[in-house]
Chains A and B, each alone.
Chain A
């Protein structure tokens, strides 16, 4: 008797067997984009695994954080690999999450009935950015310290709750050991709990509703014609695993050849080093805020920028409800243009922000 039979005898896996046997993935020219979600999920699990291992040695205090990471990198067997994979995987995860986001945006996969899948995905993207922001400070090095000072300072520009949120994030008026404790709590408890729950919801919705088919592909189908499906098990899942292996290979090469530098320990009394920038995924936003004049129509420029980003985030969450044409299964060029503009903005401002003085 196999293990599955043993479980089946006790839990009755008929429904699961049926689901596995029937689940299919639409086959069309743009099915390549389907892999991005799986790869992002794979990297999320890599983050959980390496993060738990790092937790065994990390000490969340201003006095010990840097030294504990240094210990992991120099003294712990394969600690350097775990830390480098965690750092690189975090960046690849956010890059792939953005790629997944734009592929869904361009293909209009958010349209009815997948509005909630999109909303949960958007919230996950914001959570991933939160992971990046909170994790950046944890090694307590000079760059992350001052970048967090700038980043939390931007949070202070949020209207009405700015001062409160700044103090809430920092645990005081300035970035100190209290900030590190808070970021640690967020990074290893609050965000993982929220993200795991949201990933569950997101996956449940994807499994329940199946893969979305692009509007153009749908329109080309003759009446009564059904798009060919590829069995999820094993045809698609094996392709997914193949993609994950490629991701592992890239991660291993990056970790070995481009190790994540630890830098020098943060010194709150040191002069701000030149060229302080946030991580690449915040560069576009950071550079935009730098370009906004100090005052626009009597409103503080930074505050106005933060309000604009808030509105943009809300707009993105509500896209499925605003794009009425897509929800009717029609082409919606306006939203395609908006997605293209957003992509051009993000890429160009990230590059400009990287090289701006």
Chain B
């Protein structure tokens, strides 16, 4: 009964644009929504609610029939769902699944001419990229569990990628991927190239990483999430040899130094050998060592005096620590002087330059050649020495000021006491004069 009333209402609206449609099929009223919104089966009713809410396609004039086909004006269920194409120009296709999802989305999203009218800057190669992805290849191979467009973007209630509530907004990507990849049941049966089971700890590892912290705590939307390393539509694990290139997308100078290093030919997994992949921890100087907790130790032995690699690591680490300690001491001395009121902006600026040298040395270290690292650190030590001289001069100035103050305060005190005695003397003289005149 309710369905009939709703249907009648929609038809009576006639020209009213219940769902305005500058999209592919112009409609005057939508019988799909009228019927489906009243259905008891949630699977059939929910799409109307989601699509009727915030949905980028509906907002741009698209309608149910643009993906599902059928007749959106027919009050008759059979006619509305006619798959022969006799009732409506768009034959009813029902709920697209598997490869049909890709074809449905690609019908518009791979059409450069059409997309230009809605989002001129948007790429139109998603379907092509998808075909190269692990997801796409599995789907082609008949794996119906493989992710399709709707798995990440949703089917109804789709939001723009730039919308913070979108499941593919940078801060939500990892959770969206984890929906499948952190679920051991769903990943059951999938394997890596070497035949080992596909791990499901990536999300947990990523949550420990410096990248996750930057993205979620530092609100840095440019910090990498899953798709920044694996690709999005063409999602696949980077090939072993491509890891350095992937990391080098952001860490360009490090990648360049590494590419010219002795390790480039030796490290199978590039950057990952020392920094891990998903659980990329904040790098520290302690990593540069062939003894625990250094990351050189699996290959180099810190106790072996003939191990050149271990010696190189020890040399570079020693120089880095010396500059670091020098900067810390100078910084503390300048802070003390600043608190005491000595202007130290110039030496502080110089010390920042020493800090830059330290950063440069840490970067250069990725070339693993102490001969290139040492001169940079020596420059830093020269700056620290200059700053220390300025700090000593500041300390001398501070002592001079304090002594000067005590001397002048002493002089003032003597003068005040003398003045006080003089005042008392004058007062006493006046008092005596008053007493004498009162006695007369």
Contact = CB atoms under 8 A, between A and B. Distances in A.
Interface stretch (B84-92, B129-137, B276-284, B416-424): B416-424
Contacts of B415: 245
A231 interface: yes
Interface string A248-267: 11001100111101100000
Nearest to B341: A259
A130 B428 CA distance: 45
A332 interface: no
B419 A252 contact: no
Contact of A256 (B402, B413, B416): B402
A85 to B, nearest CB: 12
Contact of A248 (B342, B401, B412): B412
A173 B387 CA distance: 42
Nearest to A265: B345
B409 A238 contact: no
Interface string A35-61: 000000000000000000000000000
14 contacts: A70-B345, A81-B401, A230-B430, A235-B426, A235-B430, A242-B420, A248-B412, A249-B409, A252-B405, A253-B405, A256-B341, A256-B405, A259-B341, A261-B341
Nearest to A248: B412
A231 B346 CA distance: 55
A322 interface: no
A357 B227 CA distance: 41
B427 interface: yes
B83 to A, nearest CB: 60
A256 B188 CA distance: 73
Interface of A: 70, 73-74, 80-81, 84, 230-231, 234-235, 238-239, 241-242, 245-246, 248-249, 252-253, 256-259, 261-262
B408 interface: yes
Contact of B346 (A74, A84, A239, A241): A74
Interface string B397-440: 00001101100110011011001101100110010000000000
Contacts of B268: none
B220 interface: no
A242 B409 contact: no
B143 interface: no
Contacts of B402: 256
Contacts of A249: 409, 412-413, 416
Nearest to A71: B343
B343 A242 contact: no
B415 to A, nearest CB: 6
Contacts of A253: 405, 409
Contacts of A230: 430
A73 to B, nearest CB: 5
B343 A238 contact: no
A238 B408 contact: no
Interface of B: 340-343, 345-346, 401-402, 404-405, 408-409, 412-413, 415-416, 419-420, 422-423, 426-427, 430
Contacts of B413: 249
Lowest 4 CB-CB distances: which A-B pairs, in order?
Answer: A259-B341, A256-B405, A74-B343, A73-B343
B288 to A, nearest CB: 34
A86 to B, nearest CB: 14
B341 A252 contact: no
Contacts of B420: 242
A258 B419 contact: no
B416 A252 contact: no
B340, B345, B430: which has the most chain A beta carbons within 10 Å? Answer: B345
A258 B405 CA distance: 12
Nearest to B394: A74
A238 B346 contact: no
Contacts of A257: 341, 405
B343 A252 contact: no
A239 B343 CA distance: 37
A245 B416 CA distance: 7
B401 A245 contact: no
A253 B415 CA distance: 17
A246 B426 contact: no
Nearest to B397: A80
A70 B343 contact: yes
A144 to B, nearest CB: 16
B339 to A, nearest CB: 9
Nearest to A242: B419
Given A70-B345, A262-B343, A238 B416 contact: no
A80 to B, nearest CB: 7
A235 B345 contact: no
B419 A238 contact: yes
Nearest to A264: B345
A256 B420 CA distance: 26
B408 A252 contact: yes
Contact of A239 (B404, B409, B423, B430): B423
B289 to A, nearest CB: 38
Contact of B409 (A73, A84, A252, A258): A252
Contacts of A238: 419, 422-423, 426
A38 B44 CA distance: 89
A12 to B, nearest CB: 28
Contacts of B341: 80, 84, 256-259, 261
Contacts of B343: 70, 73-74, 80, 262
Given A231-B430, A245-B415, A256 B401 contact: yes
Contacts of A256: 341, 401-402, 404-405
B413 to A, nearest CB: 7
A344 B423 CA distance: 36
A259 B357 CA distance: 32
Contacts of B346: 74
A234 B427 CA distance: 10
Given A84-B341, A262-B343, 11 more contacts: A70-B343, A80-B341, A80-B401, A235-B423, A235-B430, A238-B423, A245-B416, A252-B409, A253-B409, A256-B341, A256-B402
Contacts of A259: 340-342
Contact of B416 (A70, A81, A242, A258): A242
Nearest to A263: B345
A70, A231, A238, A258: which has the most chain B beta carbons within 10 Å? Answer: A238
A228 to B, nearest CB: 8
A242 B409 CA distance: 14
A230 B431 CA distance: 10
A253 B405 CA distance: 7
A241 B405 CA distance: 20
B423 A242 contact: yes
A238 B423 CA distance: 7
